[in-house]
Amino acid sequence: MALTDSEIANLEKRAENIRETILKMLVAAGSGHTAGPLGMADIFTAFYFHILAHDPANPEWQERDRLVLSNGHIAPVRYAAMAHAGYFPVEECLTLRKFGTRLQGHPERMRLPGLETTSGPLGEGLSQAAGIAYALRMDGRKNRVYVLMSDGEQEEGNTWEAALFTGKHKLSNLTAVMDRNNIQIDGMTEDVMPLEPLADKYRAFNWHVLEVNGNDIRAFIVAVDEAKAIYEKPTLIIAHTIPGKGVPEIEFDYRWHGKPPTKEEGERFLREVRTMGGKVRGEYA
């Protein structure tokens, strides 16, 4: 069922709130990744507020869809989205990366209910999602499995081992989403290690491939719906995102891959997020 304009507007508003939380938590943490989490805020919003069957009050609910985050370094966006969805208080986001926190620098399943895996080391999420999807299918269960991965981790051999396996077994209950933001720590992906043509590569591995603007919530939801309708193959959605989306100073700048804003930068960036759409919404609290 198509979403109404007002439903989309509500989701966009949530994405904006999530971006604000991400900036605040990174400033408070004093370390962490900025560009990826901001770029993926729209997709996480779409998952937690529209796509996923899930229950924040019962994270182990058997019938839930599984959302596996492979590139664990963008954890701030997952934490922020989970907090806004009701898994834990939004204020807890400010404990990110601090001693004793449940919000570890890279996500640890044993510390925070609602994470499906422990992740950070790259190239491992697709395999784990494939294992979950394979086991669910063995048991005749209908849950869907989503895995979010980065473009940089397409350089890992493990990713392609998993792509072979998933294609071989036609795991159509699995949908992979690649955050194609073209940056990694050392620079632009195509300079560090050319990855294109990514769509053709996955098609050659027996996948159904879609490409979409990953900062367009409506387009992303439409793509996920199409993936559900593909029964013969797993689907990869290559989501073209703008790294740092929402903060013009960060957008497209790979140097923001792995560093947080300072307090002063954070205040400025928050004002920028709040002017998205040309509408100023109050001062930094």
Partner 1 sequence: MLNQNAKLSAKVFADDIEKAPTRDGFGHGAVEAGKADPNVVVLCADLSESTRAEWFQKEFPERFIEMGVAEQNMATVASGMAAAGKVPFIASYAAFSPGRNYEQIRTTIALNERHVIVCGMHAGVSVGPDGATHQMLEDIGMMRMLPRMTVIVPGDAEEARRAVVAAARADGPFYLRFARAATPVFTTSETPFAIGKALTLWESEAPKVAILSTGSLSYAALEAARTLEAEGIQAIVLHVPTVKPLDEAAVLAAAERAGRVLTIEEHQAAGGFGSAVAEFLAERHPVAVHRLGVRDQFGQSGEPDELLRHYGLDTLHIESAVRALLAA
Residues that bind partner 1 in the complex, under the rule CB under 8 A? 66, 68, 108-110, 116-121, 123-124, 127-136, 138-139, 157-158, 161-162, 164-165
The residue (of 18 and 132) whose beta carbon lies closer to partner 1 is 132
DSSP for 231-259, please give it.
Answer: -SS-EEEEEE--TTTT-TTTTT-GGGSS-
Please, what sign has the CA dihedral across residues 59, 63, 64, 65?
positive
Beta strand 187-188 pairing with 183-184: antiparallel
In whole angstroms, the minimum distance from the beta carbon of 60 to partner 1 comes to 11
Structure tokens, 172: 């159509």
The residue (of 106 and 271) whose beta carbon lies closer to partner 1 is 106
In whole angstroms, the minimum distance from the beta carbon of 66 to partner 1 comes to 8
The residue (of 61 and 284) whose beta carbon lies closer to partner 1 is 61
> Helix, strand, or coil here: 206?
coil
Angle at the Cα of 259 from the Cα atoms of 253 and 260, rounded to 5 degrees = 105
Round to whole Å and give the CA distance between 97 and 32.
8
In whole angstroms, the minimum distance from the beta carbon of 173 to partner 1 comes to 11
The residue (of 100 and 157) whose beta carbon lies closer to partner 1 is 157
In whole angstroms, the minimum distance from the beta carbon of 113 to partner 1 comes to 14
Structure tokens, 123: 């190239």
Distances (CA, A) of 85 to 49, 82, 220: 7, 5, 19
The residue (of 134 and 252) whose beta carbon lies closer to partner 1 is 134
DSSP for 95-141, please give it.
Answer: GTTSTT-SS-SS--TTTSTT--S---STT-HHHHHHHHHHHHHHTT-
The residue (of 21 and 119) whose beta carbon lies closer to partner 1 is 119
The residue (of 157 and 278) whose beta carbon lies closer to partner 1 is 157
In whole angstroms, the minimum distance from the beta carbon of 35 to partner 1 comes to 23
In whole angstroms, the minimum distance from the beta carbon of 120 to partner 1 comes to 7
In whole angstroms, the minimum distance from the beta carbon of 236 to partner 1 comes to 17
